[in-house]
Amino acid sequence: MQRLLLIALVVLSAFIGAVTGVIMTLRYLDDQKPYTSIEQQQNLRLAGSGLDSAYRATLGPDLEAASRQSTRAVVHIKTGYGPGNFSINPLDRYYRRPMHSSGSGVIISDDGYIVTNHHVIEDASSVEVTMSNNQHFYAKVIGKDPSTDLALLKIKARGLPFLAYGNSDQVVTGQWVLAVGNPFDLNSTVTAGIISAKARNIGILRENNNNLEIESFLQTDAAVNPGNSGGALVNLRGELIGINSAIATSTGSYSGYSFAIPINLVKKVMDDLLEFGSVQRGLLGVVIRSVNADLTEEKGLDVVQGVYVDRVNEGSAAQDAGLLEGDVLTAINRQPVGSNSELQELVARHRPGHVVQVTYRRAGEEKTIPVTLRNTEGREGITRMEVDHEIQGATFEDLPYSELASHRLEGGVLVQKLDDGPWKSSGLRDGFIITHLDKVPVDNVEDLNRMLAYKNGGILIEGIYRNGESGVYGLTWRRQ
């Protein structure tokens, strides 16, 4: 009898080991797959889901289908500010009053990527997400871009409802749209209106952006209030065509017009943040102003629409391509441009090294030339996020999949060595496996770098040692 029991235990152990091996192998292969853009992921999920007929509402004044689809994919974001989520002083729970604010976000993939405004999560020490069904998650910041007021978040979940990208180039003035968000903490609020104008520049992103801000908003009269920021602007098919970002008001509340970032720009920024950790901005390298009647008369131009080149920067993409001061740019990739904001948005959709076709007028003639865009440093290459394995006195390494499997972990970072610094002062010991920062899972060293880049103050560290002992520590963190 004992022999049979022993044989059964051996067989069971072998089976469990085989299953674990298969799971970790699949996870490894999944991690090795080439980068896939958010839009490609959306198309794949929609193609295989059979949702096309129900997902897309027919054209017309029917707002119900678009409202029903979009409210499920718009989330409430609550941010915390102050010294951090963790304090070693027990009196803080009585005397400290953490500051909070809130906004909205839009789920753009079924595995938990969320787009919101940069100003919603700027300098936040914690980001919490609540879905329309009251599910609650802690979110990690994947990346943010102040120059477009956009940020990308990630929550650990699967099978989520999401909004598919529309095409903001096809948006026309007068068409019906819905604004979905959480104004004044009133969850899942839907308002309706029309597109009032396109390519609006209202000057709200100028501060501290080194003249790289992109303002080419969709203007709508759908009611948007504080708390709507980061929410969805959708068409009647339930497609995401913009991210609500600003209102024109003298009172702080809705006064007639609101502004959304066009989705074709959002798509590019999200893919940059996901793939590189930062936005890869392609630049022409010119100083420009919109053509109007006064400028046409002043400069003796033969056009009344376009973008006038005041200066071509030394060593820029425009100079290399042969553009000159006094040229009037009229199209990018055959798409007409009538203002600075239109030109800047179209160029901002491209990365350094991309070639765009620039149409311009000079001395009464119109020409089109290829221009290879460059970055802010005058180079055509991509700038990737550097992954540091030595961070303020501690050395980290990724865990092999076999060790992750043995601890039944999906991710984690090993503290390989500790020298003097904040990590050692926290009480951590060599061999600790960090699994969470401020309740948010840590996948690997690159993920740790990304998360620490947006932290400042107290951080709650959770994990286990290799012998299975669990640990919770408080880290006093100062960004360098």
Q: Give catalytic residues, as residue numbers.
A: 119, 149, 229
Taking the CA atoms of residue 274, residue 243, residue 356 and residue 277 in that order, the dihedral angle to the nearest 10 degrees is: -20
Q: Cα–Cα distance between 179 and 184 in angstroms, integer?
A: 14
Enumerate long-range contacts of 153-158, CB under 8 Å, 24 or more apart. Answer: 153/77, 153/105, 153/113, 153/114, 153/115, 153/116, 153/121, 153/127, 153/129, 154/112, 154/113, 154/114, 155/112, 155/114, 155/129, 156/112, 156/440, 156/441, 157/111, 157/112, 158/110, 158/111, 158/112
Q: Residue holding tokens 């919109």?
A: 290
HSE, CB side, 13 Å, CA atoms: give it for residue 443.
Answer: 12
Q: 138: Cβ–Cβ under 8 A, 6 or more apart, which residues?
A: 126, 127, 128, 129, 155, 438, 439, 440
E strand spans, 165-271: 176-181, 189-200, 217-220, 232-234, 240-248, 257-262
The C-alpha R_g of the chain, in whole angstroms, comes to 26
Cα–Cα distance, 58 to 62 (Å, whole number): 8
Q: Name which of 348, 428, 349 is nearest 396 in CA terms.
A: 428
Mind spelling out the 3-state secondary structure of 258-299?
Answer: EEEEEHHHHHHHHHHHHHHCCCCCCECCEEEEECCHHHHHHH
Residue 472 to residue 3: CA distance in whole angstroms: 43
Q: Which amino acid is at 182?
A: N
What is the number of H-type helices and E-type strands within the chain?
13, 26
Q: Is 228 exposed, middle or buried (0-12, 13-18, 19+ CB in 10 A)?
A: buried
Long-range CB pairs of 429-434, under 8 A, 24+ apart, other chains included: 429/465, 431/465, 431/466, 432/463, 432/464, 432/465, 432/471, 433/399, 433/407, 433/409, 433/463, 433/464, 433/465, 433/466, 434/396, 434/461, 434/462, 434/463
Please report, as a single letter, which amino acid is at residue 440.
V
